Amino acid sequence: MKTRIIGFDLARAYAIFGMFIVNFNTVFGSHTDHTGLSGFLNLFNGNSSTLFVILAGMGVSLMTSRNDYTLKERSTIKSIITRRSWFLFVLGVVFYLWWPADILHFYGGYMHIAVLLVFLPKKYFLYAAAAAIVIFHVLLAFIPYETGWNFQTFMYNDFWSVEGFLRNTFYNGWNSIFPWIAYFFLGMYLGRLNWKDHKTLKKILFVGITVYLITFLIQSFAPSLTQDKELIFYLTADYLPPFLPFMLGTASFGLILICVFMFIGNKIGDTKIARILASTGQMTLTHYIAHLVLGLFTLSLITGRTLSYELMNELPTSPIVIFGFSVSYFIASCTFSYLWAKKYKSGPIEMLMRKISDGKRASS
């Protein structure tokens, strides 16, 4: 169990590092330059967020992995998950005022829906994931995906109206429930697997590599396979909209990364560097919020640029600066996590969430 959890936390540490790169590059860099180091930074787009959601689903599944819960215990666990989902939802909606690409309120939505399935056999998690993708594609036939969006500024025009909020939350927001909850359900399925068995790791790694390579080849050769511009767009769309090929590619890449970090955890789980990274992975909620406040303000001071939507129209910051700052900020985050973990079991915001949702279990 120990090595499995270490590998899980190492993957979470990588996911938050990837989100540092994505968000710092989104605000200060160029998300359209796919050459050189800038292209390398843009490789993290989509992959980090999807891994973050998959791992979140694994976390919920690991909370409920026993087979002998009493009805009272099941009710208590469902209540805790529900309260956590509302905490994240409210926190995310408030945080949206600062960061319109917030993922936390979506994360809360995933958890709230997942409560309905959490004690079902794991095969139903895959059925639910497939259903979420199908629902999204059905919605595409009725609601134009660009509804509500200003893709020049990446702002959602009517987010604060009832119709706009529901549309953004369930259909075409940055990480809308449909289809993104499919990643969460996939994570719940993975959390029910026996990761102590090396056959499990090898099987998931094989599936991940196979699906990723097939998807990659189809996307790479799409312009050669067809002249249909709409089909090419469907096959190669990146993040917005999250069509099926995008989801298959990012989900399979997530499987590969999880297997890699589980393997690393098995090999170096008892080393100091692994413990430092694991402590960082256990505080992803704290680091997510901190990097979008402290991190962005610090980078704005370093670059001498004012945080505003006008940055979208200015020349991007050098990718070397963004990458260097991302690495430095991650090292600082790891240092904080390691020192904090010497005294506390959870990160600052994680402690607050547990105190509100778990009651007496808040210190665990």
Q: Which amino acid, residue 353?
A: M
User: Can you tell me whether residue 248 is helix, strand or coil?
Assistant: helix
User: Which residues is 149 bridged to in the sheet?
Assistant: 156
User: Which residues is 155 bridged to in the sheet?
Assistant: 150
Q: Which of 99, 92, 101 lies closest to 175 in space, CA to CA?
A: 101
Q: Which of 239, 248, 307, 333 lies closest to 20 in space, CA to CA?
A: 333
Average pLDDT across each block of 10 residues of the chain; the chain has 364 residues. List them in order.
Answer: 70 96 92 83 89 95 87 93 96 95 96 96 97 98 95 90 98 97 98 91 97 96 92 92 96 96 91 94 96 96 82 82 97 97 93 82 44
Break the chain into its structural domains and give their ranges: 2-194+268-363
Tell me the pLDDT tens digit for each residue of 282-326. Answer: 999 999 999 999 999 999 999 988 877 666 667 889 999 999 999
* Confidence at residue 64, expressed as pLDDT on a 0 to 100 scale: 87
Whole-structure pTM value: 0.94
Q: Which of 13, 94, 25 lies closest to 296 in space, CA to CA?
A: 25
Tell me the pLDDT tens digit for each residue of 221-241. Answer: 999 989 999 999 999 998 899
